[in-house]
């Protein structure tokens, strides 16, 4: 991760409308309704994860607009998935505008899974679900039948942010791959 004093270089794959907003308006914001439109019938899964992300991430980097949703950025070009189209934005972002986390832990949150302190703790939680006849943790989060288990899962997602301080200081040894959330993308952050 390239970090210079108070900025970090990040890479974000973005589609044409985001590029256009950044160039035309000087800034782009993502919104909840964009996530709903993009993921359509699967939107409830993404919204559950994104809403939990927003509640915790804004404690680290305050949202500039109450309707802002995160854009994703990565510390390495090799981490990018361009299968959905778009073009890579290379950004120099002020550290106070970034929330850092482990990309693989975010995948667990997106699967609406329990995020344990250890893999053993996660396996124990999965066994607990199976003992109650539950095969998929997303049923726990999306359906109203398991409020106690849902609370355990969604509370565990706060662990996503446990490595932010270390990553921010330059220590990435605690994560497999650095991912970052940005509340906005500014034109002044673009690196040619």
For the entire predicted model, the pTM comes to 0.92
Tell me the CA distances in angstroms from 18 to 14, 25, 184, one per residue in order: 6, 10, 10
Where b means 16+ CB within 10 Å and e means fewer, 85-121 reads ebeebebebeeebbbbbbbebbebbeebbbbbeeeee
pLDDT value at position 1? 61
pLDDT of residue 124: 97
Q: Which residues of the chain have pLDDT under 50?
A: none
The pLDDT value given to residue 65: 79
Select from 169, 58, 174, 171 the least CA-distant residue to 105.
174
Q: What is the pLDDT of residue 4?
A: 65
């Amino acid at each position: 991760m390239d970090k210079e004093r108070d900025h970090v270089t990040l890479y974000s794959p973005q589609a044409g409308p985001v590029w256009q907003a950044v160039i035309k308006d000087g800034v782009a914001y993502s919104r909840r309704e964009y996530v709903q439109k993009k993921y359509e019938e699967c939107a409830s899964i993404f919204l559950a994860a994104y809403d939990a992300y927003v509640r915790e991430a804004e404690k680290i980097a305050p949202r500039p607009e109450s309707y802002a949703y995160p854009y994703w950025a990565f510390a390495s070009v090799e981490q990018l998935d361009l299968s959905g189209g778009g073009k890579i934005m290379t950004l120099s972002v002020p550290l106070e505008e970034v929330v850092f986390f482990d990309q693989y832990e975010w995948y667990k949150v997106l699967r609406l899974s329990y995020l344990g302190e250890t893999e053993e703790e996660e396996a124990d939680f999965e066994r607990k679900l199976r003992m109650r006849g539950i095969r998929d943790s997303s049923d726990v989060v999306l359906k109203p039948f398991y409020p106690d288990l849902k609370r355990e899962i969604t509370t565990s997602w706060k662990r996503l942010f446990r490595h932010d301080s270390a990553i921010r200081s330059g220590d990435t040894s605690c994560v497999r791959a650095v991912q970052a959330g940005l509340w906005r993308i500014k034109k002044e952050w673009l690196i040619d």
